[in-house]
Structure 1
Amino acid sequence: MAGLFRKVYDWLMRTFWALEMEVTMVGLQNAGKTSLLRVLAGGEFTVDSIPTVGFNMKRVQRGHVTLKCWDIGGQPRFRTMWERYCRGVNAIVFIVDIADVELIPQAKDELHALLQFTSLENIPLLVLGNKSDLPQKLSVDELIDELDLKRIQGREVCCYGISAKEETNLDAVVSFLMKYATR
């Protein structure tokens, strides 16, 4: 009987209370955007992930919430597309490789350039310092300082250290995103 109740409950949730949201993941190349999306969607982490050419999209189901996630390439030629894919989304996720400290200033410049677009005003920003499993990395506090996140105004900004490889802190990521789900 409990199994039947669960099926009816799930059907009711999907039919009447289902929530869907769009999220765009951006960041420099090799930050781990595709790996994170693969893991969130229930797949496995792979070391030899192929760089995203253009974009990819996956749907991630969490309870009655569907996250439609856009993963936009981080190579310089694709960064001009970031703003277009961030328009009208429920949240922007900016992913940084916290073990590659030489690229942090470039990541900061790209993030702040992206947030200057008026079309993206008020959209919540989630900054993820990926590769927290590596020994030589920035802490979350160092990342906040290096990216000058405290200067960002007019939107909610949150920052977590994560590891797509070890699936560290991914529940916090999903919880943050689900706060912004709309019907």
Structure 2
Amino acid sequence: MAGIFRSIYDWLLRMFWATEMDVTMIGLQNAGKSSLLRVLAGGEFTIDVSNPIAFLRSRSRGDSSIPTIGFNTKRVQKGHVTLKCWDLGGQPRFRPMWERYCRGVNAIVYIVDAADQGALPVATEELHELINKPTLDGIPLLVLGNKSDLPVKLSVDELIDAMDLKSITHREVSCYGISAKEETNLDAVLHWLIARASR
């Protein structure tokens, strides 16, 4: 009996109090954006063996799939909130498009490979250049240090310092360590996003 009431309650929430929010996920190539989005949407962390170079890289680094070419979109349903997520390619030729897809969204999620310190200066520069655009003023920013399951990675505090996140003003900024592969801390990510759905 309780199951029937729960189903009716969920249906009423979706019909009358459903909230949809737009989220843009960006970051350099191989940071794990597509893997994270796949797992958040209820899929599994997978290794794409159709691309032998990506497969070999994944065996040595924990990466999951080939880089996004252009962009992907997925809808993530969590209770009465639907997250419409844009996953943008991180290669240099796609980075100029980031601003366009970040305008007017409820939140920007910036994903970095916390185990690749060599890429961190470029990731930091690209982030600060992006968020200094006047069109993106005030949009909440969530920085995720992915691949926290790897032995050599930056902690959240180290990531905050290395990326100079404390210098970012005129918006809310949060930073979490996650692992898309191990599904570590993903509930916290969803709760953070859902809390900003009505803003």
Say whether residues 1:95 and 2:108 are aligned partners: no
Distance 1:108 1:50 in 2: 23
Give the corresponding residue for 2:94: 78
Residue by residue, what CA displacement relative to the aligned partner does 1:93-116 show, whole Å, maximum 9, x if unpaired?
A: 000001000000000000000011
Give the corresponding residue for 1:59: 75
- Percent identity, aligned pairs only, is 75
Give the corresponding residue for 1:36: 36
Distance 1:104 1:50 in 2: 20
Residue by residue, what CA displacement relative to the aligned partner does 1:111-131 show, whole Å, maximum 9, x if unpaired?
A: 000011111000000000000
Alignment TM-score, normalising by the size of structure 1: 0.98
Correspondences of 1:17-166 after superposition (within 5 Å): 17-48=17-48, 49-166=65-182
One-letter amino acid of the structure 1 residue matched with residue 42 of structure 2: G
Residue by residue, what CA displacement relative to the aligned partner does 1:120-153 show, whole Å, maximum 9, x if unpaired?
A: 0000000000000000111111100010000000
Alpha-carbon offset, residue 6 of structure 1: 1.6
Gaps of 5+ in 1: none
Please give the secondary structure, in 1, of the residue aligned with 2:119.
Answer: helix
Residue by residue, what CA displacement relative to the aligned partner does 1:4-47 show, whole Å, maximum 9, x if unpaired?
A: 21221111100111111000000000000000000000000013
Aligned length: 183
Distance 2:132 2:170 in 1: 11
Please give the secondary structure, in 1, of the residue aligned with 2:122.
Answer: helix
Distance 2:118 2:4 in 1: 55
Alpha-carbon offset, residue 54 of structure 1: 0.3
- Taking only aligned residues, the RMSD between alpha carbons, in angstroms, comes to 0.9
Residue by residue, what CA displacement relative to the aligned partner does 1:53-75 show, whole Å, maximum 9, x if unpaired?
A: 00000000001100000000000
Give the corresponding residue for 1:4: 4
Which consecutive aligned stretches of 4+ in structure 1 deviate over 6 angstroms post-superposition? none
Alpha-carbon offset, residue 3 of structure 1: 2.5
